[in-house]
Amino acid sequence: MRTLSEGDILFILLAVRWTLLLSLIAFLGGAVGGLAVALARTGEIRALRLLARGYITVFQGTPLLMQLFLAFFVPSIFGINVDPWTAAALGLSLHASAFLGEIWRGSIETVPHGQTEAATALGLRYWPRMALVVVPQAVRIAIPPTIGFLVQLIKATSLASIIGFVELTRAAQIINNATFRPFTLFGLVALVYFVICWPLSAYSRRIERKLTLASR
């Protein structure tokens, strides 16, 4: 056991960039997959609706930790070596796509049905109707819960430490193993997560209040 140094603190703080980068990649990957899931869930093809519902059920009904393990170990069964970075990005993206898909599906279905009927009466088919009428209105509704989920996703990146990805939490574990200063180190980690997540949570609540007032 050695003394905690400034270099150790710097090592932990520099690991924040990997937490943020992983969160960004997972959110963007989840946004692409989530949009596909939401459109499939609200689409006119029954098979796609059932497939999307099954996808959501699986990823919302199983622990994220297990999903990360599978993303890391399953490819090796087929002779594909996956590094912790790729596995973490893949697992979190699939996880995010299920939750964002359900959030956005709810937002789409919140748009008054009369809007869809009016667009249909004007001769718009499904895709133009969604792109020009429904989705633009759903976006405003979806902003607060989407930001709220982003906060949860940032905190969920800490689970990537279990497969060896060195983000904020894993960096603190490494230093703690050498210095045995858990209260100081994990207190610092908690503070960093709070500094990242609290402004996003506050912004989400602010947007939600504005939308509530606008709808009255």
pLDDT tens-digit map of 126-167: 788 888 888 888 888 899 999 999 999 999 999 999 999 999
Residue 213's pLDDT is what? 62
Which has more pLDDT, 114 or 159? 159
Instruction: Give me the domains of the chain, ranges plus CATH numbers.
Output: 6-215 (1.10.3720.10)
pLDDT tens-digit map of 11-21: 999 999 999 99
Cα–Cα distances in Å, from 215 out to 120, 140, 144, 211? 24, 11, 15, 6
Provide DSSP, 89-106.
HHHHHHHHHHHHHHHHHH
pLDDT tens-digit map of 182-203: 999 999 999 999 999 999 999 9
Q: Global pTM?
A: 0.91
The whole-angstrom distance between residue 173's C-alpha and the CA centroid of its chain comes to 23
Helix (H) or strand (E) holding 175: helix 168-179
